[in-house]
Amino acid sequence: MAKKPKLSHRQKRQVAANRQKRLSGKQQSSPDLSALLAGRVIGRFGKQADVQDTEGNVVRCHIRRTIKSVVCGDEVLFARSEVPDENIGGVIEIVQDRRTVLTRPDFYDGVKPIAANIDQIIVVSSVKPELSLNIIDRYLVACEDTDIKPLLVLNKVELLSDDERETVSASLAIYQELGYELLLTSCKSGEGIAELHERLRDKTSVFVGQSGVGKSSIINQVLPDADELVGEISENSGLGTHTTTAAKLLSIPSGGELIDSPGVREFALWHLPQERITWGFVEFRDYLGGCKFRDCKHLNDPGCIIRQAVEEGKINQQRYDNYHRIIAAMAEQRPAYANRLISNPDEP
């Protein structure tokens, strides 16, 4: 056995001090909490993040290595560098608990956060080329999964005749009956735009929806400096594309904030397990656990009280049909999805 080395007095003191620190749970690098500043992450770039402090100053920060993830919208505590270099002005020390988080599936981690502290998801649809309730249902399921409140926006309504408008309003009434709010807008006539400004005030919002419905046009109306390209079809085309553009948090001049990126707009196209889809249909919740068989598919299974509720008119037939359409589409998509994740493991 090796002979124990003899410690000097100084070394002994050091060991005792280290031990004391370790036992009291203190890390040598623990930040002085009283010196930290509050801020919000408005952008993420590689190993750094831009943080906006309460006075509106933007400080590019390093991220303390012990922090697991920092995304756009995060509320953080950061320390200003004592000697700021020209690029880096501080270090993010603490990420506050997230009120809400938007995630995307990740091959390695299961899910990966992409934006945090969002108050509402603006689900944009349009009447032309066609209105798809199935797509709306899919977005609503994804919103329910995140527990972030959706606002349904139906755009391009100036294209409707009075009769068509009545038909469309009647078919969207299902959602209002379920408690979802609906706003009709037109970027051409300006209808509903003032109300949309009102709905964005004092909140952090994201816009989602299929390509061509008018998201960029609407964003240009609420963020005059955004200079969004209208008619661009590169984004939001689903599983075929993937994009590495990081999310940004933007201040709306009339009040409120927007978190935006092509990745954020692709939200809802991502895969969800079946039980989350079922949970996402709010009107099914009262019946969950009540079917005869625990693994009820709510299809032709005997003793299915969801199907029974549909037959009794308590659950809307179209919603029920869309539920099964979404389940089937997700099942079909699963293998393609896995391939996509394997081929792009480094996506942010």
Ligand X SMILES: Nc1nc2c(ncn2[C@@H]2O[C@H](COP(=O)(O)OP(=O)(O)O)[C@@H](O)[C@H]2O)c(=O)[nH]1
Binding site for ligand X (CB under 6 A): 155-156, 158-159, 186-188, 209, 211-217, 230-232
278 binds, among Zn ion, ligand X, Mg ion, none (CB under 5 to 8 A by kind): none
Q: What's the closest the beta carbon of residue 97 comes to Zn ion, in angstroms?
A: 36
Q: Applying CB under 5 A, does 296 fall inside the site for Zn ion? A: yes
Give the gyration radius of the chain's Cα atoms.
Answer: 25
Residues 43, 86 contacting (CB under 8 angstroms): no
Q: Is 72 one of the annotated binding-site residues?
A: no
Q: Which is nearer to ligand X, 207 or 281 (CB)?
A: 207
The response to whether 205 counts as a known ligand-binding position is no
Under rule CB under 5 A, residue 185 binds Mg ion: no
216 counts as binding Mg ion under rule CB under 5 A: yes
Task: Report the DSSP pairing between strands 120-126 and 204-208.
Answer: parallel
* For ligand X, the closer CB: 158 or 321: 158
- Are the C-beta atoms of 294 and 109 separated by less than 8 Å? no
Cβ(151)–Cβ(123) below 8 Å: yes
Q: Does residue 316 touch Mg ion according to CB under 5 A? A: no
Pairing of strands 58-63, 48-53: antiparallel
CB 231 within 8 A of CB 211: no
Q: What is the DSSP letter of 272?
A: -
220 CB neighbour count, 10 Å cutoff = 17
Minimum CB distance to Mg ion smaller for 210 or for 322? 210
Q: Is 298 annotated as a binding residue?
A: yes
Helix 193-200 to helix 215-222 angle (10° resolution) is 70
Q: Is residue 209 part of an annotated ligand binding site?
A: yes
Residue 168 marked in a binding site? no
d(CA 177, CA 172): 9
Instruction: Using the minimum distance from each CB to Zn ion, give the nearer residue, 135 or 296.
Output: 296
The first and second tokens of residue 255, run together, are: 């009040």
Judged by CB under 5 A, does residue 261 bind Mg ion? no
Residue with tokens 């969950």: 288
Q: Which does 186 bind (CB under 5 to 8 A by kind): Mg ion, Zn ion, ligand X, none?
A: ligand X
Q: How many CB atoms neighbour CB 59 within 10 A?
A: 20
199 binds, among Mg ion, ligand X, Zn ion, none (CB under 5 to 8 A by kind): none
Closest to ligand X by CB, 60 or 197:
197
Q: Which stretch binds Zn ion (CB under 5 A): 149-157, 198-206, 272-280, 292-300?
A: 292-300
Binds Zn ion by CB under 5 A, chosen from 136, 268, 304, 315: 304
Binding residues for GTP, as ranges, are 209-217
Residues that bind Zn ion (CB under 5 A): 291, 296, 298, 304, 306
